Structure 1
Amino acid sequence: MGLLSNRIDKGSLKQGDHIYSWRTAYIDAHHGIYIGDEKVIHFTRLGQEVGTWTVLDLLLESLGPARPLTPCTNYASSEECQGVILSCLNCFLAGGILYRFEYSVSLALFIAKARGGTCTLAVSDPNDVVVHRAKYLLENGFRCYNVFKNNCEDFTIYCKIGLLVLDQGTMG
């Protein structure tokens, strides 16, 4: 990973990594926690999130390269494709490029990053704790999905550092 990109290859993934893939020409990213064995736990709301097979996707996807718009059938039925779900890595990426979110970056790097939502100054908990949180939320849920106040990025950051933003006056 470098100053301008957090792009990684699948071979460098570790359990507990916060990963993401840009959707629709870098307008939106979808985030998840890699738990090993080509599996990702992520938070979604069918019908409300770009990258989760909606009518909006069809419009936005027509502006970019073709990607499959079908839910992962390896781990969940189509009825279970909302909330906290388990997907294979390929279905999570939906044909996109794999990136790793960075934690504990220096203030200089944080300021220098050209695009927000790719790193944080916060320190991540150990990877086994991160995977445990993600698996717990897979079984027990993660509040109601809201694209602005409780989304896939909020889910993964909670898994990584154990903190939630509860102020209803803020976004993201």
Structure 2
Amino acid sequence: MGLLSNRVDRNSLKPGDHIYSWRNAYIYAHHGIYIGDDKIIHFTRRGQEVGTGTVLDIILVSSGPARSQVPCPTCSPPEEGHGVVSSCLNCFLAGGILYRFEYAVSPALFIAKARGGTCTLAVSDPNDIVVHRANYLLNNGFGCYNVFKNNCEDFAIYCKTGLLVVDQGTIGQSGQAISIIGGPLAAVLSTPLRLVTTNIYGMAATAVGVYCASRYAADIGMRRDVVKVSVEDLTTRLAAGLLQVVEPLAPAFPTPAQ
């Protein structure tokens, strides 16, 4: 895995790894948890979905295993239901390239990887705990799919860290969702510079700075609106519709590795 590329060989995967593959000309990536034996557990749109009401609902169709007229000989046919499924690595990748999401990265590396959805400052829990969470959610679900608040990356980050955003009215843990919102926001916030300068380079530098600052502040490893929630408690609250009033089980503000 290079400095700015998270591309890895499948032979280097370990159970508990958070992996992803870009889809639709690098517009969006699909994320999952590798559990060993060439199997991935990931969150898809097969369950009930809360749409965005925008064109993104048409563009972001990558959250699912590869669709083929010939059934995969190693994958179990997915059942209609909560959207958390198990697939073989080939079906998960759908012809794409394999990447591994990075945890506990330094602030400098986080900023250098300008594209969201590739790394976080948050610290991962031990791999056995990660695999347990993924398997538990495979049987019990992860709520309604929402591209901005509860998507495949949110699922994988929760499995790795056990962290959830307290206020479900805000954006979730997903770095790529933050990037989608942060780009236009940076452009808007840099627009007032036109009143004092026509220097396009200065405006571009300001927009980049605003974008990087917004990504950094919104990363799950920096936010203070997150709590550590056990997977058993999560599914109980989801079933009761109480996730939005979840209380912290313990202090859960991870710090990046030094």
Query: Out of 33, 50, 70, which is 2:61 matched to?
Result: 50
List, as ranges, runs of 4+ consecutive aligned residues in structure 1 with deviation greater than 6 Å. none
Give the gaps of 5 or more residues in structure 2. 50-56, 173-258
Could you give the per-residue CA deviations for residues 35-69 of structure 1, whole angstroms, max 9, x where no partner exists?
0000000000138652257xxxxxxxxxxxxxx63
Q: Is residue 153 of structure 2 the alignment partner of residue 142 of structure 1? A: no
Q: Higher relative contact order by CA 8 Å / sep ≥ 6: 1 or 2?
A: 1
CA RMSD of aligned residues (A): 2.1
**Alignment correspondent of 1:103:** 103
Query: Residue type matched to 2:128 in 1?
Result: D
Is the 8 Å Cα contact of residues 44 and 81 (structure 1) preserved in structure 2? no
Query: Residue type matched to 2:158 in 1?
Result: Y
> How many residues get paired?
158
Could you give the per-residue CA deviations for residues 2-39 of structure 1, whole angstroms, max 9, x where no partner exists?
22210001011000000000001110000000000000
Supply the distance in 2 between the matched residues of 1:132 and 1:17 (Cα, whole angstroms).
12
Could you say if the C-alpha distance between residues 163 and 147 of structure 1 is closer, same or farther in structure 2, counting changes exceeding 3 Å? same
Within 5 Å, give how 1:1-172 maps onto structure 2. 1-46=1-46, 49-52=60-63, 69-70=67-68, 73=72, 74-80=74-80, 83-172=83-172
Give the gaps of 5 or more residues in structure 1. 54-67
Supply the distance in 1 between the matched residues of 2:79 and 2:34 (Cα, whole angstroms).
22
Tell me the SS of whatever aligns to 2:153: helix
Considering only CA atoms, is the larger Rg found in Structure 1 or Structure 2? 2
Query: Residue type matched to 1:50 in 2?
Result: V
Q: TM-score, normalised by structure 1?
A: 0.84
Q: TM-score, normalised by structure 2?
A: 0.57
Query: Residue type matched to 2:117 in 1?
Result: G
Tell me the SS of whatever aligns to 2:163: coil
